[in-house]
Structure formats: structure tokens, C-alpha cells
């Protein structure tokens, strides 16, 4: 999976590292700001 993405990224090693970091950041931001806020009220985690 990671190897597949790595091979698909364009450019040399440096460009690929930058692109990878951007991808990781984008996925993390999507989880943090969209998925998790939607998910938490649905989970039984509300012990005070």
C-alpha cells in the first residue's frame, strides 16, 4: 500500500517526501476536523 503510493508519486526522492507529508497532513486534517467530530457523538464515550 505505502510502496504503491510511493511509486505513483512523481519526481525525485525530495519531491516524493514533500508530497507524502502533504498527503499525510491532508488525511489527518480530514479525520480531525470532519470524521472525528461526526463520529464522537455516535460512540458511547460520554462518561463524564
Residues at the interface with other proteins (CB under 8 A): 1-2, 28, 31-32, 36-37, 39-41, 45-48
Give the residue with the Cβ less far from other proteins, 3 or 12.
3
Cβ atoms of 17 and 5 closer than 8 Å? no
Q: Report, in Å, the least distance between residue 47 CB and other proteins.
A: 3
Q: Report, in Å, the least distance between residue 22 CB and other proteins.
A: 16
What is the rounded distance in angstroms from the CA atom of residue 43 to the CA atom of residue 23?
Answer: 27
The single residue listed with the C-alpha cell 526522492 is 13
Give the residue with the Cβ less far from other proteins, 14 or 43.
43
Amino acid at each position: 500500500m505505502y510502496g504503491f503510493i510511493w511509486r505513483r508519486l512523481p519526481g525525485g526522492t525530495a519531491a516524493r517526501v514533500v508530497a507524502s507529508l502533504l498527503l499525510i497532513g491532508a488525511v489527518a486534517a480530514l479525520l480531525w476536523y470532519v470524521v472525528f467530530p461526526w463520529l464522537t457523538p455516535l460512540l458511547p464515550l460520554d462518561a463524564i
